[in-house]
């Protein structure tokens, strides 16, 4: 039974095959993956290639037929969807650098010697992670709402014109602020933990060479935790593509957030309000492919770093 | 990472580094406090606003609590709202997040252990599928998941939210990294030589060192399911089975036509933030986030 090849393999890495064991251990995960990941993906692709078309002349019976890439064509030429995509990109361009920049800044500050109130700041900045996206959006919604907003109160108290956070020109930034607020703490903790993993001697060496804390932060610390920064960046990008909760929650508070404000809102409307599953499916696939395209390149790098050793 | 293991070259020019002055660095401290204020201010505001009745919410100064009985009014009216549906939402959230996270961690841990510690046919295929799962937007799955659930006649049931919550591609990904770094191959090998079966080995040798990572994963999953909005929003139509997120969202939607509800929503937000904040402060020491960041250290 044992061929030369497997014999060599066995000698190199003894008895890691374990017969049926790995499959048994993986069974629950595989069943769930198939049911809630692969089947849905396959079905979405299938739906996206079909549509309900009226057939049978005067009787007008709606029948589901294969329409090829028609749905994709109409999705990509739908100005509302494309506007949503562009808005989402703009949102990402604001949120990802701001959130990660702040997270990195705070992590480095926390890691600086002789900083006071570190524990308090760390918990304080991390706290929004405990607040669900909907609740965070409700909360900020009230802070933005002209009648209630304490921020406007402050502006008026010092005699400045109160900003309108929900105006067409500013609402994107207001939504982005909720995203930054909710995500900065978690990313800060991840980066801070990575910094803690760096051996102290690295810094001592740099200090002996005469580097000051800013130089150490930028030249020693940041390069060392780059893998963690890249990983947080990927996850921030992925969550940008999935932005839904914040604008959907602000929607009842203002007219400036439309039903198609971001792609996921369009997909939700198509699928559950208009009952047009086919368009929703095509729009979903477009979004999923976008996510994949954004992530795969960076992930290749990431995976090599993460699994270089246990292979 | 050979850089890390190299010892620093002995310094010849300045043999003794200057002793650190115990002086506080005020600029970094101030920046951090500013960040903390930005993150805490909205939570403080909601606590203050919760003390205000519907008539005061829009009219009194925002940064000063009211003592006109608004707090009691909001609490009693919120708890009375639709026959105490708010408490039901809280219990539902607890159920979804509690049961979902425990099952999710169990599934993820077993899968991560198997992926890290065994060579088997299809390992890479399964792992690539899991990675793809991390990347696919939830709503892309939500539409067909909804159709699947309605096919199974499970739409609007607790199962429709619980079952999809159990599978966490990200959880499996983290478990694999964690198992690869903490479970010793030598120990497993020694166990095999002593004649232990694979399952006994997993139970006695493989899984115990993974417990700290499992606790962290449990917390991550708990928060993720507790915070989830889209899945229950799509699956559940009966407001008696809503989690808190969906419940408060629908309440806010009604508020657009009944502004008197706003003060109750504010109270609801306040009450929903409290337990999770308390949980966080209490569980801080159990967080092992090096699991999250450590997985990618070179």
Could you state, in order of their start, the residue ranges of all structural domains in chain B?
Answer: 86-247
Chain B residue whose CA is closest to A186: B289
Delimiting residues of CATH 1.10.3720.10 domain(s) in chain A: 70-308
Is residue B295 pLDDT above 60, yes or no? no
Q: How far apart are CA A160 and CA A153, in angstroms?
A: 10
Q: How far apart are CA B133 and CA A14, in angstroms?
A: 31
Structure confidence by residue, pLDDT tens digits, A90-115: 999 999 999 999 999 999 999 888 88
Confidence of residue B288 (pLDDT cuts 50, 70, 90): low
Mean of the pLDDT values across residues A238-248? 86
Q: How far apart are CA B182 and CA A310, in angstroms?
A: 12
Closest C-alpha among B119, B117, B291 to residue B187: B117
The class of domain A70-308 in CATH terms is mainly alpha
Structure tokens belonging to residue A145: 């709402």
8 Å CB contact between A37 and B129: yes
Mean of the pLDDT values across residues B1-20? 48
Is residue B13 pLDDT above 60, yes or no? no
Structure confidence by residue, pLDDT tens digits, A38-82: 898 898 899 899 888 776 666 667 778 888 898 999 989 999 899
Q: Identify any residues that bridge with A61 across adjacent strands, giving them in sequence order.
A: A55
Q: Which residues of chain A have a CB within 8 Å of the CB of B110?
A: 25-26, 28-29
> Residue A216 has what pLDDT?
86
B261 touches chain A (CB under 8 A): no
Is residue B165 pLDDT above 60, yes or no? yes
Question: Within 10 Å of residue B135's Cβ, how many Cβ atoms?
Answer: 18
> Residue A23 has what pLDDT?
92
Q: How far apart are CA A187 and CA A190, in angstroms?
A: 5
Is residue B143 pLDDT above 70, yes or no? yes
8 Å CB contact between B148 and A37: no
Structure confidence by residue, pLDDT tens digits, B98-125: 999 999 999 999 999 999 999 999 999 9
Q: Looking at the predicted complex, does its ipTM rise above 0.85? A: no
Considering only CB atoms, B119 lies closest to which of A13, A148, A292, namely: A13
The least confident of A273-277, B9-13, B223-227 is B9-13
Give the rounded percent of residues in chain A with a pLDDT score beyond 90: 25
Question: Within 10 Å of residue A4's Cβ, how many Cβ atoms?
Answer: 7
DSSP code at position A169:
T
> Residue A107 has what pLDDT?
94
Structure tokens belonging to residue A311: 């292979």
Structure confidence by residue, pLDDT tens digits, B55-88: 777 666 666 777 777 788 888 888 888 888 899 9
> Under an 8 A CB cutoff, do B25 and A112 touch?
yes
> Under an 8 A CB cutoff, do A208 and B108 touch?
no
Structure confidence by residue, pLDDT tens digits, A164-205: 888 888 899 999 999 999 999 999 988 998 888 888 888 888
> Residue A203 has what pLDDT?
84
Gyration radius (Cα) of chain A, Å: 26
The whole-model pTM stands at: 0.84
Is residue A12 pLDDT above 50, yes or no? no
Is residue B131 pLDDT above 90, yes or no? no
Q: Of the segments A99-103, B178-182, B252-256, which one has the largest average pLDDT value?
A: A99-103
* Between B24 and A226, residue with greater pLDDT: A226
Is residue B42 pLDDT above 80, yes or no? yes
Is residue A11 pLDDT above 50, yes or no? no
Is residue A24 pLDDT above 50, yes or no? yes
Query: In B52-63, which positions are buried (b, 16+ CB within 10 angstroms) versus exposed (e)?
Result: bbbebbeebebe
Q: How far apart are CA A140 and CA B259, in angstroms?
A: 17
Interface of A with B in 255-294 (CB under 8 A): 264, 267-268, 271-272, 277, 280-281, 284-285, 287-288, 291-292
SS3 content of chain B, % helix, strand, coil (to 5): 70, 0, 30
- Structural element, H or E, at residue A64: strand A61-66
Q: What is the CATH number of domain B86-247?
A: 1.10.3720.10
Q: Does residue B82 come out as left (phi exceeding 0), alpha (psi in the -120 to 50 range) or beta?
A: left
């Amino acid at each position: 039974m044992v061929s030369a090849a497997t014999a060599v393999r066995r000698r190199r890495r003894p008895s890691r095959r374990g017969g049926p064991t790995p499959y048994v251990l993986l069974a629950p995960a595989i069943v769930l993956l198939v049911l809630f990941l692969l089947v849905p993906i396959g079905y979405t692709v299938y739906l996206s290639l079909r549509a309900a078309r009226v057939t049978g002349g005067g009787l007008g019976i709606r029948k589901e037929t294969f329409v090829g890439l028609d749905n994709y064509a109409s999705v990509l030429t739908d100005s509302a969807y494309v506007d949503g995509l562009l808005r989402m990109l703009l949102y990402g361009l604001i949120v990802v650098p701001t959130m990660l920049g702040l997270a990195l800044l705070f992590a480095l500050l926390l890691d600086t010697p002789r900083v006071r109130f570190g524990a308090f700041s760390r918990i304080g900045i991390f706290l929004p992670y405990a607040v669900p996206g909907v609740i965070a959006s409700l909360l900020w919604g009230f802070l933005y709402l002209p009648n209630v907003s304490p921020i406007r109160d402050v502006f008026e108290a010092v005699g400045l014109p109160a900003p309108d956070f929900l105006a067409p020109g500013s609402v994107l930034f207001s939504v982005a602020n909720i995203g930054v607020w909710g995500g900065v703490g978690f990313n800060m903790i991840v980066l801070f933990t990575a910094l803690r993993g760096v051996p102290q001697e690295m810094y001592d060496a740099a200090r002996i060479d005469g580097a000051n804390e800013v130089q150490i932060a930028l030249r020693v610390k940041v390069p060392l935790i780059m893998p963690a920064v890249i990983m947080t960046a990927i996850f921030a990008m992925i969550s940008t593509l999935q932005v839904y909760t914040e604008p959907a929650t602000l929607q009842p508070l203002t007219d400036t957030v439309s039903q198609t404000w971001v792609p996921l809102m369009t997909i939700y409307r198509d699928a559950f309000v208009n009952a047009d599953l086919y368009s929703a499916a095509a729009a979903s696939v477009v979004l999923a492919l976008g996510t994949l395209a954004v992530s795969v390149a960076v992930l290749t790098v990431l995976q090599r770093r993460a699994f270089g050793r246990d292979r | 990472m050979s850089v890390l293991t190299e010892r620093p070259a002995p310094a010849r020019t300045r043999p003794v580094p200057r002793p650190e002055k115990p002086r506080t660095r005020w600029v970094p401290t101030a920046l951090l406090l500013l960040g903390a204020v930005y993150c805490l201010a909205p939570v403080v505001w909601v606590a203050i606003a919760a003390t205000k009745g519907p008539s005061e919410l829009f009219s009194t100064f925002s940064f000063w609590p009211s003592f006109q009985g608004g707090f009691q009014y909001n609490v009693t009216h919120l708890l009375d709202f639709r026959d105490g549906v708010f408490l039901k939402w809280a219990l539902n959230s607890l159920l979804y997040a509690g049961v979902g996270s425990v099952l999710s961690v169990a599934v993820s841990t077993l899968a991560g252990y198997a992926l890290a510690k065994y060579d088997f046919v299809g390992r890479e295929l399964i792992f690539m599928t899991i990675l793809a799962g991390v990347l696919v937007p939830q709503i892309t799955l939500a539409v067909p998941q909804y159709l699947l659930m309605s096919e199974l006649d499970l739409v609007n049931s607790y199962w429709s939210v619980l079952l999809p919550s159990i599978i966490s591609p990200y959880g499996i990904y983290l478990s694999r990294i964690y198992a690869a770094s903490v479970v010793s191959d030598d120990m497993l090998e020694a166990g095999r030589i002593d004649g232990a079966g694979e399952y006994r080995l997993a139970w006695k040798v493989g899984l115990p060192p993974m417990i700290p990572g499992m606790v962290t994963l449990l917390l991550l999953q708990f928060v993720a399911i507790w915070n989830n909005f889209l899945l229950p929003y799509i699956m559940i139509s009966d407001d008696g089975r809503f989690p808190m997120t969906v419940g408060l969202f629908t309440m806010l939607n009604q508020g657009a036509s009944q502004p008197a509800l706003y003060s109750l929503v504010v109270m609801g937000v306040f009450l929903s933030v409290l337990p999770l904040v308390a949980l966080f402060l209490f569980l801080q020491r159990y967080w092992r986030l090096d699991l999250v960041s450590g997985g990618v250290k070179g």
